[in-house]
Structure 1
């Protein structure tokens, strides 16, 4: 059985991060973009992180430029934008594709585990969110329109 522990991803600093080290934590994995109508969700994601980080909760943000060219910057520009505009303290990963031939294996797995509306495996837009339990399983998928604060009750159940 596959879990998040089977994947290694790159951080925005280019370092490899083995996600097996995240077992035991509840994770919210999100594809993000700096120039999107949903970019203000960074505030809500940071609020969730601050509220639950002491209870072994983390947000992992994966910038993605596949939707309307809304994440054109490099890793440094993205990190600076997030820190200056939203005061982000949770981890930013390297920019990834979430759909298509070059899609991140992590996102391919999460989409298979929790398809979207009407069984769609594709991610439709920025700020699609996946909730991962302490054992590394995908528990739920949230649409871009789902505000982070509405996910709090699901996070609390897993903590």
Structure 2
């Protein structure tokens, strides 16, 4: 199975697959609106504004598994992101990124991350996975890694 076959639901409730993003460089991030790292939204949006036309897509997957820091509905999450961080990159429905209800996307990401970037379970909100245009996971970045520090890695793949 490829990453592009994985079914996801948009924040507006539409079911789709990641096939939509084939031939793009992807930055996949589990997000939260009430976290100390929530300002990462600003850095992610800056990367998106800078590199989207060159083929970067940032995919945000809200998750409420870390200290209940994403308690809102999809509509509340979408409004929060648009109002506070002017987010225009794609957001998806809330998912689990670890545990028995882990979403198939995150199970795939964790299973296919190459060494030395395998770090076990997702540790917190805003863990980041960089995927090349062929759908291969290139690197995993920890939650505290500032989005701007990914710029060189992203540019190498574009």
Q: How many residue pairs were aligned?
A: 158
Q: Shift of the alpha carbon at 1:112?
A: 1.4
Cα offset, 1:69, TM superposition = 0.1
Alignment of 1:7-26 (within 5 A): 7-26=6-25
Question: Offset of 1:4 from its aligned partner?
Answer: 1.5
Equivalence for 1:125: 124
What is aligned with 1:109?
108
| 1:117 shift after superposition | 8.0
Give the TM-score, by structure 1 length: 0.95
What SS class does the counterpart of residue 27 from structure 1 fall into? strand
Asked if structure 1 preserves the Cα contact closer than 8 Å seen for 2:114 and 2:138, the reply is: no
Runs of 4+ in 1 over 4 A off after TM superposition: 115-119
User: In the TM superposition, what whole-angstrom CA distance separates every residue of 1:16-59 from its partner, at most 9, and x where no partner exists?
Assistant: 12111211000100000000000000000000000001011110
For structure 2, the residue ranges without an aligned partner over 5 or more in a row are none
Report the Cα distance in structure 1 between the residues aligned to 2:104 and 2:148, rounded to whole angstroms.
28
Task: State the match for 1:65 in structure 2.
Answer: 64
**What secondary structure, in the 3-state scheme, does the structure 2 residue paired with 1:58 have?**
strand
Are the aligned partners of 2:117 and 2:140 in contact in 1 as well (CA < 8 Å)? Answer: no
**1:146, distance to aligned residue in structure 2 (A):** 0.5
* TM-score, normalised relative to structure 2: 0.95
Structure 1 residue 147 and structure 2 residue 146: aligned? yes
Is this contact kept in 1: 2:114–2:139, CA < 8 A?
A: no
- CA distance in 1 between counterparts of 2:2 and 2:39 reads 30
Check 1:145–1:17 CA distance in 2 against 1; reply closer, same or farther (3 A cut).
same
* RMSD (CA atoms): 1.5
Please list every run of 5 or more consecutive structure 1 residues that lacks an aligned counterpart in the other structure: none
